[in-house]
Amino acid sequence: MKILARLKKTIRTFIQKEPPPEYEVTQFVISDRQPITGASKISFFVNNPQPGASVTRTFENEDDVINWLMSNADFKHIFSKIYFHHPLSSIIVA
């Protein structure tokens, strides 16, 4: 059984487009995908002197927010884990 489970895990990992997150997902997740290349002069911890758009205006309407959330791998992960207790891959979102 252990071999079968390991095989399943290997296949699932291989199929996944993105590598699995390296943090443990709890009820609150902080995600940062900023590559640390040293090319940027803007510190991760200091406000950008030229602030970007507010998240309150990033999306034009309600549907945009919903679509963004449901296509967000982190959110889907939390949502499925808390609510369905199993991967969202087996659930159809329409």
Which of 37, 44, 60, 85 is close enough to bind another protein by CB under 8 A?
A: 44
54 near another protein, judged by CB under 8 A: yes
Whether 21 and 77 have beta carbons less than 8 Å apart is answered as yes
And the tokens for 91? 């659930």
Which one among 31, 36, 37, 85 touches another protein, defined by CB under 8 A?
31
In angstroms, what is the minimal distance from the CB of 8 to another protein?
Answer: 19
Cβ neighbour number for residue 73 with a 10 Å cutoff: 14
CA distance 85 to 71: 19
Angstrom CA distances, 61 to 37, 58, 66, 74, stand at 34, 9, 9, 21
Q: Does 32 help bind another protein (rule: CB under 8 A)? A: yes
Q: Which parts of this chain interact with another protein (CB under 8 A)?
A: 27-34, 42, 44-45, 47-48, 50-56, 58-59, 62-63, 65-66, 69-70, 72, 74-75, 78-79, 82-83, 90-94
